């Protein structure tokens, strides 16, 4: 019959093996998530390299803003004028507290910011943060492979979350287990 110390040593060996195998098999994914996570953390502090700053318009009163269809047309023409690109509008991000709107286009993560009241172009830029976020959360695979309902993203994030829990628990045990064995002898 194994002694208590032998049982503890066996648990430590199994824990170490689980920790090592998880780390080896998911290394690339953890590396990608770490790098993209750092970039996303810096996106608003990158000097507009990762994402354009949000500029202020002249009025925070939405009642003074131009109609959305007019602003949308102004944004599309500003995009074509400044970049030579024509792209379909993906979404509009209104910033009432700043008096501006961001018009985000499908093609190559382009963005045009307009003053909501005057329609003046505040900024035209590229949002690298969008594709970085897609890489970070795995949704880029859904898009590339046409996986419906973001199923790969759900699988990927569940796997990475469970792996992080496993690393936390096994890492703690690899630190605590030997101390426990030493104190019990």
| CB contact set of 155 (below 8 Å; sequence gap of 6+) | 138
Tell me, what's the pLDDT at 181?
76
pLDDT at 41: 96
Q: Are strands 89-95 and 100-105 parallel, antiparallel or unpaired?
A: antiparallel
β-bridge partners, 100: 95, 115
pTM attached to this predicted model: 0.80
Per-residue pLDDT, 106: 87
Strand pairing of 110-115 and 121-126? antiparallel
Distance (Å, rounded) from C-alpha 167 to C-alpha 171?
5
Cα angle 55, 49, 84; round to 5: 75
pLDDT of residue 27: 92
Distance separating alpha carbons of residues 133 and 125, to the nearest angstrom: 17
Q: Can you give the pLDDT of all 185 residues of the chain as single tens digits?
A: 778 888 888 888 888 888 888 888 899 999 999 999 999 999 999 999 999 999 999 999 999 999 999 999 999 999 999 988 889 999 999 999 999 999 999 877 899 999 999 999 999 999 999 999 999 999 999 999 999 999 999 999 999 999 999 989 988 988 888 888 778 76
Instruction: Report pLDDT for 175.
Output: 87
Class of domain 52-126: alpha beta
Please name the residue ranges forming H helices in the chain: 4-42, 68-83, 128-137, 139-145, 151-184
């Amino acid at each position: 019959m194994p002694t208590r110390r032998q049982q503890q040593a066996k648990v430590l060996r199994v824990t170490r093996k689980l920790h090592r195998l998880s780390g080896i098999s998911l290394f690339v994914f953890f590396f990608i998530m770490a790098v993209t996570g750092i970039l996303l953390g810096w996106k608003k502090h990158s000097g507009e390299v990762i994402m354009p700053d949000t500029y202020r318009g002249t009025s925070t009163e939405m009642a003074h803003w131009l109609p959305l269809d007019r602003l949308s047309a102004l944004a599309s023409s500003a995009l074509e004028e400044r970049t030579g690109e024509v792209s379909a509008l993906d979404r509009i991000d209104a910033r009432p507290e700043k008096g501006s709107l961001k018009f985000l286009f499908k093609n190559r993560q382009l963005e045009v910011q307009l003053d909501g009241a005057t329609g003046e172009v505040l900024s035209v830029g590229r949002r690298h943060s969008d594709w970085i976020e897609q890489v970070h959360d795995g949704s880029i695979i859904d898009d590339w492979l046409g996986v419906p309902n973001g199923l790969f993203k759900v699988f990927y994030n569940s796997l990475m979350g469970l792996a992080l829990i496993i690393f936390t628990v096994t890492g703690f045990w690899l630190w605590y287990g030997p101390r426990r064995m030493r104190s019990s002898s």
